[in-house]
Amino acid sequence: MEYHFKDVALLITHYNRSLSLERLLKSFKDLGCYFEEIVVSDDCSKPEHLQNLKELQKEYQFKLVTTTKNSGLGNNINKGQDAVTSKYTLYIQEDFIPHHLFPGKLSEAIEIMEHTDFDFVRYWAYFKYPYLKPYKSGYSEMKFNFWYLGYRKFWFYSDAPHLRRSNFFQRFGRYPEGISSDRTEYRMAISVLQKKPKGLFHEEDFQGLLIHANDMETSTVPRDEWRYSNKNKLLVFVRAIYRYLKFSFNYLFIHRHVK
């Protein structure tokens, strides 16, 4: 079976993981997925990876957007999105693999967005968004209220794989540049949330439709273990309180200058 997503651009950000990129592109091809355009945005990878990209470009006919210096996640997403001309953008990092059910689910999401005002549809997350209202076809509408409990409610938007309208920047602004990837994602999440977004979350299987598979080439983003480890329960509790207070303050009082 073939799927022709004529109004959708596949946007892939890449940095020094050309084998993973090849696997992703091949997976979509094997599933019979054809997009209106494919854009690969590279953040100044090493010469051997850049050479691999140029070889892959001959086979998969994608737009390759490069840069002369490593400029970080924000710049890589911004310049990639700038190259998109399609109505919708499926944004994904190079170390994911689509499940065979994904093309059908993507078709459903496009149909939903064609007849609604949802801004984006999330397909992958480290945790299930805590406040969801069942919508249809395994999708749930995300709900945000400042008075809801917990800090995870602030992660309404994430740069993990999602389908979005390609006028995303006009609606929510561009990604901040010149800072770490984690701060970039956080600042964008707060900025989006402040503008009252409408989003869907694939609740039915939020880690299975697109499989995060970085076993071939490890992550290029260094992270402090204390920020993400769940081994120490006291640390988890203190971290949750800190994040709740920080996220609440930034959401209420800081606009486009979130630290």
What are the tens digits of pLDDT across the range 7-16? 999 999 999 9
What are the counts of helices (DSSP H) followed by strands (DSSP E) for the chain? 8, 11
Instruction: For the chain, give the percent of residues with pLDDT over 90.
Output: 85
Provide the token pair at 57.
């470009």
The pLDDT of residue 122 is above 50: yes
pLDDT given at position 73: 95
Strand, helix or coil for residue 39: strand
Query: How far apart, in whole angstroms, are the C-alpha atoms of residue 201 and residue 156?
Result: 9
Strand, helix or coil for residue 109: helix
Alpha-carbon Rg for the chain in angstroms: 18
What is the maximum span of the chain, computed from C-alpha positions, in angstroms? 53
Q: In this structure, which amino acid lies at residue 48? A: E
Which pTM was predicted?
0.91
Q: Which of 199, 180, 172, 153 is nearest to 81 (CA)?
A: 172
pLDDT band, very low/low/confident/very high, at 235 (cuts 50, 70, 90): confident
Q: In this structure, which amino acid lies at residue 128? A: K
Q: Top-level CATH class of 3-253?
A: alpha beta
CB contact at 8 A, 91 and 201: no
